[in-house]
Amino acid sequence: MWWKRLRALAQTVVGGAAIMALASLLSRLIGLVRENLFAQILGAGAVLDMYNAAFQVPDFIFNIVVLGALSASFIPIYIERRTQGSTAEANRLASSVLNIITLGLIVCTVIGLVLSNPIAHWLMANRPLEQQVGTAQLMRIMLLSVICFGISNVFSGILQAKRQFIAFALAPILYNVGIIIGIIWLYPKFGVVGLAYGVILGALLHLTIQGVAVFSTGFHYQPWASWRTPGVKKLLRLMPPRALALGITQVNAIIITAYALRLSVGNLTIWKWADNLQNVPINMFGVSLAISAFPIFSQAFAEQDLPKFKQVFSNNFRRLLFLIIPISVVILLLRAQIVRLILGLGSGAFDWTATIATAQVLGIFSIALFAQASIPLLARSFFAHQDTKTTVVISIISVLTNLLLANSLSQWYGLYGLALAFSISSVLNMLLLLGALRLKFGDLEDNAIIQAVLRISLATISTGFVIHGLKYLVAPLVDMQTYVGILIQTLVSMVGGAIIYMGLAYIFQFPELNIVKQSLIKLKRLL
């Protein structure tokens, strides 16, 4: 009975977002356990630099071939075929896409295997030969995970289109479990390649849970691929612009990786740690809301219902800003405490220098957290209307801005310069997407959004003063050299800030608070 109620809950925007947010929270908590293990066992050193560098090629292939097809094209076309055609047509489309993607990934994986040595030597150009060889070895093993993720993400697209978010939400959790197994058991047994084996195990678990869920929904796989299947040609037409945009973004990531590797040992690992920490709220709120709203956006387009699209967009955008802006201030003001609580107290392999550096990079990232959390929702607004070209142009502008700034700022400020360049380009990306969306669809309830930004910003400033004051008020009362002392300081500051923020929202009757309250009421009724 509870399972049926949970599946019914996932069919709504609020319920789907809630399931995604809770699963994302659990996944990120497990991910933070993973990062803590990395920090305590390996530290910010050569081994993790090799591991993170080796991820670049698999990520590059996955993002271009898989996300290029699925995030922009597959879901709206699948919904269109199911709405205007039939379930059988939608299944034929999914089977064709699955087969085409799998074949494409096999070819790309073989190419990656062949080029792994020269790529590793370029990325690790200023590192000893054994690190270059080790990076290439890890890369070759991790490349096998790309095929698993390709198949798994086709299944993800089907589940999202059908608004079946449970298995989709659990898949990243199992992926992290696989990596943790790699750190705890496989690394001691096999050495550094054990970390790559953990990635493969996580990818297999990611594929298995979604495969079971997809076939339980009535999906019938057909072992052939036809270019004439309705929707395939349209998908292939929409795919190149999105693939190009993601390719540019991935090239940007690889170049930033190369910049970080050319700084002192451990800088790439510190970057990844800070990035993983900032992705907790981004995935919990930004990505969860975007994924949950995407099928509704696509359905509104299929039904030619522009007012519905605008209303759903405005509500979700304001809800997101209401949550993410104060969170960014919390991270900025409590960045050192967050890093020490999650990655360690500056002891073990994770020393004090790495603690400070990670906290500072996280603080710089937090400045643009609202932009990074908004980009998934804004981008999917275009994808739902089968427009992938606009995001390509904006991606090119943002990436070029990032690279130009990174090249100059890294020379002055090192890793902090790279983080600042990334944050500035993220804000630019968000503003350009929002402006382009406004030009494309006209009034997006502009007055409501502008007033929301002003209200939320003023309330957040007040909240920031309270958090900052409580932080210094509590510090003399606890032992700041212990985990419990830092935890008490952090919790008191966060709770005090939350009370002030929600209190101001209640006193001044923020409409965004009502949106959140209505969502919680709907969620309670569904439960």
Reading the chain (527 residues) residue by residue, the pLDDT tens digits are: 444 555 555 555 556 566 666 776 787 778 778 877 887 787 767 888 899 888 878 877 777 766 655 655 777 788 877 877 677 888 888 888 888 888 888 998 999 999 999 999 988 887 888 999 999 999 999 999 999 988 998 898 888 877 777 788 889 889 999 999 999 999 999 999 999 999 999 999 999 999 999 998 888 888 876 666 667 777 777 677 766 766 676 677 777 777 877 777 677 788 888 888 898 888 888 877 787 777 778 777 777 778 888 888 888 899 899 999 999 999 999 999 999 888 765 555 566 788 889 999 999 999 999 999 999 889 888 877 778 788 888 988 998 899 899 888 988 888 899 999 999 999 999 999 999 999 998 888 899 899 999 999 999 999 999 999 999 999 999 998 888 999 999 999 999 999 999 999 988 888 877 766 666 565 555 45
pTM: 0.73
In 3D space, the residue among 283, 499, 276, 304 whose CA is nearest the CA of residue 373 turns out to be 283
Q: Quick check: 144 and 200 in contact, CB under 8 A?
A: yes
CA distance 112 to 117: 9
Range of the structural domain that residue 154 is part of: 46-247
Residue 414 is assigned to a structural domain of this protein: no
Structure tokens at 54: 């080796």
Q: Note the pLDDT of residue 194.
A: 94
Domain count, the chain: 1
Q: Note the pLDDT of residue 104.
A: 84
Q: How many CB atoms lie within 10 A of CB 137?
A: 18
CA distance 403 to 449: 31
Residue 177 is assigned to a structural domain of this protein: yes
pLDDT digits (tens, 9 = 90+) for 235-259: 777 677 766 766 676 677 777 777 8
Residue 162 is assigned to a structural domain of this protein: yes
Q: Note the pLDDT of residue 501.
A: 94
CA distance 220 to 98: 12
Residue 131 is assigned to a structural domain of this protein: yes
pLDDT digits (tens, 9 = 90+) for 201-241: 999 999 999 999 999 888 888 887 666 666 777 777 767 77
Residue 330 is assigned to a structural domain of this protein: no
Structure tokens at 157: 């697209």
In 3D space, the residue among 368, 364, 359 whose CA is nearest the CA of residue 325 turns out to be 368
pLDDT digits (tens, 9 = 90+) for 283-301: 888 877 787 777 778 777 7
Q: How many Å separate Cα 69 from the centre of its chain?
A: 17
Radius of gyration for the alpha carbons in the chain, expressed in angstroms and rounded: 23
Residue 271 is assigned to a structural domain of this protein: no
Q: Note the pLDDT of residue 2.
A: 47
The kind and range of the H/E element at 98 are: helix 87-123
In 3D space, the residue among 30, 280, 6 whose CA is nearest the CA of residue 174 turns out to be 30
Per-position DSSP letters for 315-341, written without gaps between them: HHHHHHHHHHHHHHHHHHHTHHHHHHH
Residue 219 is assigned to a structural domain of this protein: yes
Q: Note the pLDDT of residue 516.
A: 64
What one-character DSSP code corresponds to residue 442? Answer: -
Residue 20 is assigned to a structural domain of this protein: no
